[in-house]
Amino acid sequence: MKIHYWKSKHGNFGDDLNGWIWSENSHNKDIWNEGDNISFVGVGTVLDNNIPKDMFKAVLGSGAGYALPPFDIDDSKKWKIYGVRGVLTARLLNISPDLALTDPAILVANMDKFKATKKEGVIFIPHFKSIGYGAWEAICFDLGIEYVSPCGAADDIIKRIGSAELVLAESMHAAIIADALRTPWIAVATSPEIMPFKWADWSMSLGMPYKPVCLAPSSMNEYIRNIVSKFGYHCTIFQKGLFTINSPLRQLEFSSIEEIEGIYQNNMKRAKQKWRASLTGVLEAIIKRTIKGGANNKNSQMYKNAVLQMKELMNMPAMLSDDKAHKEKLEQMLAALRQLESDYEKGMFK
């Protein structure tokens, strides 16, 4: 099977772990060849119409959220679903709630190389799209927090997450892997582009609400980015007063399935307005070309306010799923993977 996943030209560890997590957790590594015209859809928010249409598709743990799901996903001659990321994706696809598993990155908990013997330090992992706008790396340095880029080698990032005392996670897979490796975590958002659907899809699978802590912009570049992002189709712009200059630290909570589905439907309506994608693309390009430093102006009021908010953030209650729920979901994911292996070996995808 050929693994289908989103690849960033700069690297993004949450997607890149697809390159090895499946083979390293399989009994039969031979199933991961690429010459059998079978597409495997695993880690990521990738259930959309970019999946190859001329191949049979096997799905395990993937999620929806950024776009409409594949139009033919109910065709059993083209698809076999072993599980999806959570109940929100299952409802969107109109499949059995029994297929709502969790994110496959939980499989790192099944790998000895990621089992830390000691946990120390606080780390902050931004979303890869946030890099280059804010002053968070400098702020982390000032406060003794370790800034970890999501664009590094997946193995190294996962090991550091497992050995940390606390993970401040804007990257969703930083939270997912932290929870898998039993490291407390706090969800963070520095942009109104946060995606409640995909986050809650995962967190609810383990019995937790999605509770992001929204930070004010740390630089003028970040503030401008936040203004521009409100034109995009997946901007949760209902959060009035947040992500603006000197906005207060605020923790949101997404625990209502109906509310989250309503946000998703609104985003899909906005996605049909093609001018949004065109406009935001142009504006983002202009911003990136005109940024000339200044993000780390430690004398600015935005920088000082961001430092205070980060200090406050570190003292907020952290999240960690129940041990029993974690164990059950890990066992379910492994069982689904074993079933997929068995079906493949029996030639059931042909």
Q: What DSSP letter does each residue of 104-163 carry, written as one string?
A: GGGGGGG-GGG--S----EEEE--GGGTTTS-HHHHHHHHTPEE--TTS-HHHHHHHHHT
Mean pLDDT, rounded, for 95-120: 95
> What's the domain count of the chain?
2
CA angle 102, 108, 111 (to 5 degrees): 140
Q: Tell me: pLDDT of 168 over 70.
A: yes
Q: Tell me: pLDDT of 336 over 70.
A: yes
Hey, which of 129-133, 153-157, 226-230 has the most confident mean pLDDT? 153-157
59 pLDDT band, cuts 50/70/90, is very high
Do 340 and 272 share a structural domain?
no
Q: By percentage, how much of the chain surpasses pLDDT 90?
A: 68
Q: How far is CA 274 from the centre of its chain?
A: 25
165 pLDDT band, cuts 50/70/90, is very high
Q: Tell me: pLDDT of 292 over 70.
A: no
Do 271 and 150 share a structural domain?
yes
Do 85 and 12 share a structural domain?
yes
pLDDT at 237: 54
Mean pLDDT, rounded, for 213-240: 81
Question: Dihedral of CA 287/293/299/303: which sign?
Answer: positive
Contacts of 102 (CB under 8 A, 6+ apart): 61, 85, 86, 202, 205, 206, 329, 332, 333
Domain limits for position 209 = 115-321
Please report whether residue 350 resides in a domain. no
Total-model pTM: 0.94
Please report whether residue 31 resides in a domain. yes
Do 121 and 73 share a structural domain?
no
226 pLDDT band, cuts 50/70/90, is confident
